[in-house]
Amino acid sequence: MAAKVGKLVDWSGGFWERRYSAEPVLDDTALVGRLRYVLAHGVKEGLVERSAEWPGLTCLPQLLGPARK
């Protein structure tokens, strides 16, 4: 299935890592770092212009707090 999706979107290289790697999140600083990475990844890869546009992102309103304009 991954190979078919890769061809569909013209993706070269590996689709997923070969092996699972668990990294413990030991404190709030590490947690914020992981969140920043996840939220910025779609923008970095050019899939969306803003993190808020990522489909399925349901935690952003809670992370941002009261509505921002």
pLDDT value of position 30? 92
pLDDT in tens, 14-45: 766 677 778 889 999 999 898 888 888 888 98
pLDDT value of position 5? 75
- Res 68 pLDDT > 60: no
In which residue are the tokens 């590490």 written? 30
Q: How many residues in the chain?
A: 69
Q: Which residue has the higher pLDDT, 45 or 13?
A: 45
The C-alpha atoms of residue 59 and residue 7 are separated, in whole angstroms, by 31
Q: Are 51 and 57 in contact (CB under 8 A)?
A: yes
The C-alpha atoms of residue 53 and residue 35 are separated, in whole angstroms, by 16
The separation between CA 8 and the C-alpha centre of its own chain, rounded to angstroms, equals 20
